[in-house]
């Protein structure tokens, strides 16, 4: 083979390896991508049928029902004010999870339109502050007031 043919073979080989690596990366990215839907979008059938996705909204008042599986199973309803999505989850719920508060659940819809959550995340409002930061601010405020005559 001539030098020119060797270079051409090397370039073609590098392009094939680069193309394969790009295809693998895009496939991995696509399979790990999780979309968010509101209860209205879920009830309108806009959510995927055989794929994991997230649904978020407010936990409807008086909708939390615990029981089964040694108290780890919980059923509740997520609403956005216009539509309702019944959710089933088995596991430990976040401390901030409660009725009337925001929540995001990740999972799949079953055949009956019931959302089977694999993960539940409680949302907090924009005024949330970690307890450690709140304590530090309170101490700083007390120290400032003590220094003033």
Contact 7, 47 (CB under 8 A): no
Is 128 assigned a ligand-binding role in the annotation? yes
Q: How far apart are CA 118 and CA 63, in angstroms?
A: 19
For residue 20, give every residue at least 6 positions away whose Cβ sits within 8 Å of its Cβ, in sequence order, or none: none
Numbered residues of the known binding site for heme? 124, 128
Numbered residues of the known binding site? 124, 128
């Amino acid at each position: 083979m001539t030098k020119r043919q060797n270079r051409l073979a090397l370039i073609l080989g590098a392009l094939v390896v680069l193309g394969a690596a790009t295809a693998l990366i895009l496939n991995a990215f696509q399979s790990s991508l999780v979309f968010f839907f509101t209860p209205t979008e879920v009830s309108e059938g806009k959510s995927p049928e055989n794929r994991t996705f997230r649904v978020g909204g407010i936990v409807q008042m008086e909708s939390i029902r615990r029981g089964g599986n040694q108290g780890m199973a919980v059923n509740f309803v997520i609403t956005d004010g216009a539509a309702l999505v019944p959710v089933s989850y088995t596991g430990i719920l976040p401390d901030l999870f409660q009725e009337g508060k925001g929540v995001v659940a990740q999972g799949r819809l079953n055949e009956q339109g019931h959302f089977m959550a694999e993960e539940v995340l409680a949302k907090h409002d924009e005024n949330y502050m970690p307890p450690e930061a709140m304590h530090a601010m309170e101490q700083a405020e007390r120290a400032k007031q003590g220094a003033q005559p």
